[in-house]
Amino acid sequence: MTMDKGKIFQETVKVLWNRSVGPGYYRIGLTCHHGYKDARPGQFIMLRFPGQITPFLRRPYSIHQLIYDNDRVVGIELLYKVVGEGTEKLSGCQVDDDLDILGPLGNGFTFSSHYKTVYLAAGGIGVAPMVFLASYLKTKGVDIGKSLVFLGGRSKDDLLCRDVFSDIGIKLQVTTDDGSEGDRCFITHPLEMKSKNDRPDIIYACGPLDMLKCVGDIAEKYHVPCEVSVETVMACGMGACLGCAVEKKEMNKAYLHACIDGPVFDIRTINLYLS
Ligand SMILES: Cc1cc2nc3c(=O)[nH]c(=O)nc-3n(C[C@H](O)[C@H](O)[C@H](O)COP(=O)(O)OP(=O)(O)OC[C@H]3O[C@@H](n4cnc5c(N)ncnc54)[C@H](O)[C@@H]3O)c2cc1C
Ligand code: FES
C-alpha cells in the first residue's frame, strides 16, 4: 500500500515546548490545526520565523511525532540538531512564540501488509523520522518484538530517542564511532550481520549520505527491499527551485526531486553514488 500525498497547509503555529534533549539537540512541540492527522512517517515541514528576514529560506524538518489530545491530532513534534543559523534561532524559541510552517510535505515511507519484520537504520539526527515510523508500524501489525532499530552516532550523546523506542517496544542495537557506547563501528556493521542471518521484510533508513549508500549495498547484497530518506539541501520544498535533485538510477541526466518525489525513495530507483 502506498501512502497517498495529501493537502499542504501554510499556517502560523505556536510553540508548545522547546526542550534540550542532549548537547545541541532539541525537541520542539508545535500546535497545528490542519491536515496532520493524515501525515505519514517520512513527511516533513518547511519552517520559517514569521516577520523575520533571516534566515531567508525556510528549513526542512521531519515530523518526529504527532501530538495527540485524546484521539485528536493537535500538533507535531520536531527533533532537531543545532548546526547553523536557523537551528540556532529555533533553539531560542520560547513557549507561545509563533512559527510559520508549510506541510505536510513529501511522500513518506511506504508499507505493505505482508511486512512483519522490519529493520530501521538511523544515523545521528536521521533518527528524527524513525520514531514516528516505529509507532506507525506498530499500529499496522508489524511484529515489533522481532523488528530492530539500528541506532548509530558519533558518540553516546548522539544516540537519541532510546527511551521512546523502548516505550514502543522495539529493540535497539547501538553503535558509536568513538566506542563510548555500544560497539565501536558504523551502524551498518550490525545491520549487515543481522540482514545476512535474519533477513527482514524491509530496511528503512535515514542518516548521512555515506551511511545510506552502505545500507543500499547491504539491501542489494541480501535482496532486501529498502527505502531511504534522502536529506538534500532544500530551498523551497515544493518542486519550484529544483535545488534538491537526486539522480535516477538507470537514466542518465534524469532527475527526481527530494521534496516532491521523496524525501523517501526506494533505493533501487536512485543513484546515491552521484549525489
Ligand atoms: C527532508 C529533510 C528532513 C530533515 N529533517 C531534519 C530533522 O528532523 N532534524 C534536523 O535537525 N535536521 C533535519 N534536516 C536537516 C535540516 O534541514 C538542516 O540541518 C537545517 O536546514 C540547517 O539549517 P541551519 O540554518 O541551522 O543551518 P545552515 O546554516 O543552513 O547550515 C549549517 C550546516 O548544515 C548543513 N546542512 C544544511 N542542510 C542540511 C541537510 N539537509 N543535511 C545535512 N546538512 C545540512 C550545511 O551544509 C551547513 O554545513 C532535514 C533535511 C531535509 C531535507
Ligand atoms: S527544494 Fe525546491 S525543488 Fe525541491
Instruction: Determine which residue's CA is closest to atom 52 belonging to ligand 1.
Output: 231
Ligand 2 atom closest to the CA of 244, numbered from 1: 4
Whether 99 has a pLDDT exceeding 60, the answer reads yes
Determine the atom of ligand 1 nearest the C-alpha atom of 64: 8
Tell whether the model's pLDDT for residue 6 goes beyond 80. Answer: no
Q: Which ligand is nearest to the CA of 265?
A: 1
244 C-beta closer than 6 A to ligand 2: yes
For residue 237 and ligand 2, the question of a CB distance below 6 A is answered with: yes
By most ligand atoms within 8 Å of CB, the mutation choice from 48, 107, 244 for ligand 2 is 244
* Phi, psi (rounded to 5 degrees) for 136: -65, -45
Query: Using 50, 70 and 90 to split pLDDT, how confident is the model at 177?
Result: very high
What percentage of the chain exceeds 70 in pLDDT? 96
Segment among 4-8, 14-18, 118-122, 168-172 with least mean pLDDT: 4-8
Contact 205, 220 (CB under 8 A): no
What pLDDT score was predicted for residue 65? 97
Spelled out in words, what is the top-level CATH class assigned to the domain 118-229? alpha beta
**Average pLDDT across the chain, whole number:** 93
Q: Does the structure show a pLDDT above 90 at 242? A: no
CA separation for the pair 68, 76 (Å, rounded): 9
pLDDT, residue 53, reads 87
Q: Could you report the per-residue pLDDT of 114-168, keeping only the tens digit for each? A: 999 999 999 999 999 999 999 999 999 898 989 999 999 999 999 999 999 999 9
C-alpha cell at 42: 517520512
Q: Which ligand is closest to the CA of 231, given by its number?
A: 1
When pLDDT is averaged across residues 86-111 and rounded to a whole number, the result is 96
Going from the Cα of 235 to the center of ligand 2, the distance in angstroms, rounded, reads 6
Domain ranges, ordered by start, for the chain: 9-105, 118-229
Distance (Å, whole) CA 214 – CA 16: 38
Q: Which ligand gives the minimal distance to the CA of 261?
A: 2
Cα–Cα distance, 4 to 215 (Å, whole number): 25
Q: Does the C-beta of 243 come closer than 6 Å to ligand 2?
A: yes
Distances (CA, A) of 179 to 84, 118, 173, 186, 205: 27, 26, 13, 10, 22
Q: Could you tell me which residues come within 8 angstroms of residue 110 by beta carbon, excluding any fewer than 6 positions away?
A: 1, 2, 3, 227, 264
Three cell numbers written together for 266: 526506494
How many angstroms separate the alpha carbon of residue 125 from the centre of ligand 1?
10
Which backbone phi and psi does 12 adopt, to 5 degrees?
Answer: -90, 125
CA of 229 to the centre of ligand 2 (A): 15
Residue 5 scores a pLDDT above 60:
no
- Which of 26-35, 59-68, 246-255 is least confident? 246-255
* CATH placement of domain 9-105: 2.40.30.10
Check pocket membership of 236 for ligand 2, CB cut-off 6 A: yes
pLDDT > 80? residue 253: no
Checking if the pLDDT of 248 tops 50, the result is: yes
